[in-house]
């Protein structure tokens, strides 16, 4: 998974920008991680964001746990 993330980060963010400082780069990475997890739909997650998929997974498991 990490390899996929970094490949996507490079393709969608890092190779498209010029950074003026290490601080600028670190801020870009932080913002991209936020975007990647909370706003960018993933085909492998049925076009849901990782955050939304995790939320649904948690609710599903909670319901299953309560049934037992």
Task: Decide: pTM greater than 0.75.
Answer: no
Instruction: Label residue 64 by pLDDT band (50, 70, 90).
Output: low
The 3-state secondary structure of the chain reads CHHHHHHHHHHHCHHHCCCCCHHHHHHHHHHHHHHHHHCCCEHHHCCECHHHHHHHHHHHHHHHHHHC
The mean per-residue pLDDT over the stretch 42-51 comes to 90
Indicate whether 27 pLDDT > 60: yes
């Amino acid at each position: 998974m990490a390899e996929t993330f970094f490949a996507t980060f490079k393709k969608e963010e890092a190779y498209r920008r010029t950074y003026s400082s290490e601080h600028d780069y670190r801020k870009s990475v932080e913002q991209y991680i936020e975007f990647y997890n909370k706003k960018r739909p993933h085909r492998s997650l049925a076009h849901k964001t990782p955050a939304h998929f995790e939320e649904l997974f948690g609710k599903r498991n909670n319901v299953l746990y309560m049934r037992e």
